[in-house]
Amino acid sequence: MAQMPPPASGVSTVSPEISARADLVANRFVRVVNQVEPVAESICREETERLLCDFHIMVDADPDAPANAYQTQDRWGRPIIIFTVALIADAQNEDELAFVLGHEASHHLLGHIKKSSEGAKAGAVIFGNLASASGLQDQALEEAVNLGAMVGSRYYAKRYELEADRLGTLITVEAGYNPIRGAQFFTRIPDPGDRFLGSHPPNAQRLQVVRETAAAVGY
The 3-state secondary structure of 84-130, one letter per residue: EHHHHHHCCCHHHHHHHHHHHHHHHHCCHHHHHHHHHHHHHHHHHHH
- Mean pLDDT throughout 139-143? 73
Task: Specify the pLDDT at position 74.
Answer: 92
Q: What residue type is assigned to position 25 of the chain?
A: V
Question: Residue 4: CB partners within 8 Å, gap ≥ 6?
Answer: 61, 85
59 DSSP β-pair partners: 83
pLDDT in tens, 3-61: 444 544 454 565 666 667 777 888 999 999 999 999 999 999 997 777 899 999 999 99
Give the range among 25-39, 45-59, 110-124, 203-217 with minimum mean pLDDT.
110-124
- Please state, rounded to an integer, the average pLDDT across all residues of the chain: 83
Task: Specify the pLDDT at position 50.
Answer: 79
Instruction: Label residue 141 by pLDDT band (50, 70, 90).
Output: low
| Cα angle 83, 84, 90; round to 5 | 100
Between these two residues, 173 and 75, which has the higher pLDDT value? 173
Question: Residue 103: CB partners within 8 Å, gap ≥ 6?
Answer: 164, 165, 168
Say yes or no to pLDDT of 72 above 60. Answer: yes
Percent of the chain with pLDDT over 70: 74
Read off the pTM. 0.80
Task: Specify the pLDDT at position 41.
Answer: 96
Task: Specify the pLDDT at position 178.
Answer: 97
What is the phi/psi pair of residue 218, to 5°?
75, 25
Q: How far apart are CA 162 and CA 139, in angstroms?
A: 36
